[in-house]
Amino acid sequence: MTASDESTVALAFSGGLDTTVCVPLLEEEYGYDRVIGVTVDVGQPEAEFDEARRTAEALDLEHHVVDATEAFATLCYRAVKANATYQGYPLGTALARPVIAAAILEVAEEQGCAAVAHGCTGKGNDQLRFEAVWRGSDLDVIAPVRELGLTREWEMEYAAERDLPVEGGNEGVWSIDQNLWSRAVEGGELEEPSYIPPEEIYEWTAEPDGTTTVEVTFEAGRPVAVDGEELPPVELIEYLNEYAGQYGVGRTDVMEDRMLGLKVRENYEHPAASVLLAAHQALEDLVLTKEERRVKRGIEQEWAEKAYEGLVFAPVVRALEGFIDETQSVVSGSATVRLEGGTCRAVARDSEYAVYSEEMASFNTESVAGIEQADATGVAKYHGLQDRLANEVADRVRGRVPSISTDEE
Ligand code: ARG
């Protein structure tokens, strides 16, 4: 490492107000000689890269763009296997952060940086998600917005004084975070939980209208084809976002409990995630045993919590995935979902691993696998036996006869 390397910092750069003011601040307040802006592609719209490039140029900032779309799609597919949602949200922003953080760290290490920096505030989740990855390295971690206690107003004034290229700090009414897996919209009047979101906040989903079906094929829990057409992960997700979005599928409006305890009202669009999660779950319902399904619900919840926290690299996540992957070997086949009225629900599933015997479930067969109808009599005698006994005891001890009654006590 040369002396000048000691004073280089890699900044997670989007070209927005926060990260733009960070550039001069890192030089002036933190004393770095060289700032490198890194923008990581996790499927943001092209316009965001244009903005980042333009702003970097105007700032005379060395700018790197890293394509992490495939790594991100791979993580999204792990989320599908885990049927993962957090409070109804398929975790798009949460899953993207560790991928972005890791990509920035790689650039920082290549470029011999002494530090990495982000423009997150001290209120949100993203500061924690980025730093959970970065603090595993030897580099210093810098969070100018949080550390200097900056407000948007201050940033806008500072940008105006310095003539920074922030397009007047004019980033619209809504705060938007968009990637391959979801589009999150917050801020403005949406901060008021009683405010009904206007149609204009939606970009990926049309007003629900019309109906169609989509068939998704899975191999060992991974989506591999849509309506019979094989597609690699990034293309498959993009295709479904577009297709299911036309039917208004994949809108959620949640009161989200953030990691620091704040409740924040957040709106999301995620057509592909909705379809893939519904289809995957439907296929699992056919091929997993009752016990596998029951235990997996708990595992999934744990996976989603860690993913929300940006901790997908944690050992416990690998352990949870040990269970998940063990179950996925039979999650091959297809499921069809109907898109209708902005919802998607499974209407068909098919797999050679179905834990299902039409012959056994049918009302029309007398004896199957040596089991007669009459064999259920013994089971019926035992069923609820312990409860009947316990109620008898309670009746004797407390003089109270529990009964099924419509009267409220
Ligand atoms: N609250 C979400 C999360 O922490 C997403 C935040 C997205 N940001 C935005 N500006 N809408 O995962």
Tens digits of residue pLDDT in 150-204: 999 999 999 999 999 887 445 678 999 999 999 999 999 999 999 999 999 999 9
CB 62 within 8 A of CB 36: yes
Q: Tell me which of 3.10.180.10, 3.30.365.10, 3.40.720.10, 3.40.50.620 is the CATH number of domain 5-177.
A: 3.40.50.620
Tell me the per-residue pLDDT of 323-366, one tens digit each, with 9 for 90 and over: 999 999 999 999 999 999 999 999 999 999 999 888 877 767 77
Question: Helices 69-81 & 315-328, crossing angle to 10 degrees?
Answer: 70
Mean pLDDT value across residues 80-96: 98
Q: Provide the phi-psi class of 265: left if phi over 0, else alpha when psi is between -120 and 50, else beta.
A: beta
How far does residue 314's CA lie from ligand 1's centre (Å)? 21
Q: Tell me which of 3.40.190.10, 1.20.140.10, 3.90.1260.10, 3.40.630.30 is the CATH number of domain 181-350.
A: 3.90.1260.10
Closest to 99 measured CA to CA, from 123, 72, 119, 129: 72
- The neighbouring-strand residues paired with 270 are none
How far does residue 365's CA lie from ligand 1's centre (Å)? 54
> What span, in angstroms and rounded, lies between the C-alpha atoms of 23 and 10?
10
φ, ψ of residue 267 in degrees (nearest 5): -115, 140
φ, ψ of residue 264 in degrees (nearest 5): -130, 135
* Side chain identity, residue 167: E
> What span, in angstroms and rounded, lies between the C-alpha atoms of 59 and 120?
20
CB 265 within 8 A of CB 256: yes
Q: Which of 75, 186, 201 to mutate to test the pocket of ligand 1 (most atoms within 8 A of CB)?
A: 186
> What span, in angstroms and rounded, lies between the C-alpha atoms of 166 and 363?
70
Confidence of residue 87 (pLDDT cuts 50, 70, 90): very high
Q: What pLDDT, on the 0 to 100 scale, is given for residue 194?
A: 97
User: Catalytic residues, which ones?
Assistant: 18, 97, 126, 175
How far does residue 254's CA lie from ligand 1's centre (Å)? 11
Q: What pLDDT, on the 0 to 100 scale, is given for residue 364?
A: 72
> Ligand 1 pocket by C-beta < 6 Å: which residues?
93-94, 125, 175-177, 184-186, 256, 266
How far does residue 126's CA lie from ligand 1's centre (Å)? 8
Query: Which residue, by CA, sits nearest to atom 4 of ligand 1?
Result: 125
Q: Which of 123, 129, 177 to mutate to test the pocket of ligand 1 (most atoms within 8 A of CB)?
A: 177
DSSP 3-state of 387:
helix
Ligand 1 atom with the shortest distance to the CA of 93: 12
Looking up tokens 């595993």 gives 136
Strand 115-117 vs strand 140-142: parallel, antiparallel, or unpaired?
parallel
- Same fold: 5-177 with 181-350: no
Tell me the per-residue pLDDT of 244-259, one tens digit each, with 9 for 90 and over: 999 999 999 999 999 9
pTM, 2 dp: 0.93
Q: What pLDDT, on the 0 to 100 scale, is given for residue 2?
A: 42
Tell me the per-residue pLDDT of 48-81, one tens digit each, with 9 for 90 and over: 999 999 999 999 999 999 999 999 999 999 999 9
Q: Which two tokens stand for residue 61?
A: 């900032």
| Residue ranges per structural domain of the chain | 5-177, 181-350, 367-398
